[in-house]
Amino acid sequence: MRDTEKEVKEIYWNLIYSTFYYRAVRKDHEKFKELVKYGEKAIPTLLSILRGGRRCFYLIYALQEIAKVNPVEKKYRGWYTDEVNPSWLAWGDNKGYKHLIPEYEDEFLYDGNTGNIISLKKGQPRPGRPKDKE
């Protein structure tokens, strides 16, 4: 995994876990600001997370801040409907990001004991769980 991709994913997951109990998106959160600072370099990774099926306003707001657009139809804005992810993925394809979007292979877990984010590769067993039998 490229360094930028790994860093963006770790910032994203830290943002998610540190704001889990908030009722609203906090654009003033330090991790959100850090994510947006990556600029266009973060777009392929954010789109890969969307392609992986994530439904998260932080992803959408970060993409909006970086890209300075909102490709979602006006009638669906403000709600997380089934049209949001495909609208952003189509926008990415049209802007030439399709070939840059890495396959969403990693899973990130929050370790409540240490407060660290743990990155797992696809198929790697979760800590404390036996590996699935093949």
In whole angstroms, how far apart are CA 12 and each of 9, 30, 88, 131?
A: 5, 11, 17, 26
What does the DSSP assignment read for 1-18?
Answer: --HHHHHHHHHHHHHHHH
How does pLDDT run across 14-67, given as a tens digit for each residue?
888 787 777 667 788 888 899 999 999 999 989 888 887 777 788 888 999 999
pTM for the model:
0.70
With beta carbons less than 8 A apart as the criterion, state whether 32 and 42 touch: no
Question: Residue 2: what pLDDT?
Answer: 67
Whole-angstrom distance, CA of residue 129 vs CA of residue 75:
44
How does pLDDT run across 61-86, given as a tens digit for each residue?
899 999 999 998 888 877 677 788 88
